[in-house]
Amino acid sequence: MAHYALIKDNKVEQVITGIDEDQTDTLPEGISSWEEFYENRHGLTCKRTSYWTKGNQHWERNAEDKLVLSSTQDKALRGNYAGVGMIYDADNDVFYLSPDQLQEGWIIDTTDWNAKPPIEMPSLTDEQVADGYFYSWDQVKYQLDNADPKTQGWVLYQKITE
């Protein structure tokens, strides 16, 4: 099983599940790839997308069913898994969030094709990490809080353990 993004004017219109690109023995005559097949069928540009690619890295589930970085990063495909409304950048051959999908002030980082907040996340101390603290972005706080430019938008939480 493979996933394909159908694209119009560099914007993802639809993501479909299709035939694995390695199964070329069933391609119709005169068609060289499943991208070409789906492109002809739907009348839109078609690009394969990887469900397991995020931030220009390939991820997988380990034996404990936890998401971990894959040991074979050559499987990373086109920056991110495509979603409806995302941009397909043909020059860089990547998918990323469109400006209307970004929160106010956020930008696309072209090193990993992820959305980044306008303020870098503050660092945690070793003690905070050991005690289960983490930061989470709060867009409303960012828009309201101008008191501390180093932390505005970031809220410190502690994981609840039972």
What distance in Å separates the CA atoms of residue 63 and residue 59, rounded to the nearest whole number?
A: 13
> What is this structure's pTM?
0.82
What DSSP string describes the chain?
A: -EEEEEEETTEEEEEEEE--TT-GGGSPTT---HHHHHHHHHTSEEEEE-TTEETTEEEEE-TTS-EEE-S-GGG--SSS---TT-EEETTTTEEE--GGGSPTT-EEETTTTEEE-SSPPPPPPHHHHHTTEEEEE-HHHHHH--S-TTTTTEEEEE----
CA 66 to the chain's CA centroid: 18
Identify the pLDDT of residue 90. Answer: 97
Residue that the structure tokens 């009348």 belong to: 43
Kindly state the percentage of the chain with pLDDT values over 90: 73
Q: Environment class of residue 53 by beta-carbon count within 10 Å: exposed (0-12), middle (13-18) or buried (19+)?
A: buried
Residues 80, 82, 86, 88, CA torsion sign: positive
pLDDT digits (tens, 9 = 90+) for 97-137: 999 999 888 999 999 999 999 888 999 999 999 999 999 99
Identify the pLDDT of residue 162. Answer: 61
pLDDT digits (tens, 9 = 90+) for 78-91: 999 999 999 999 99
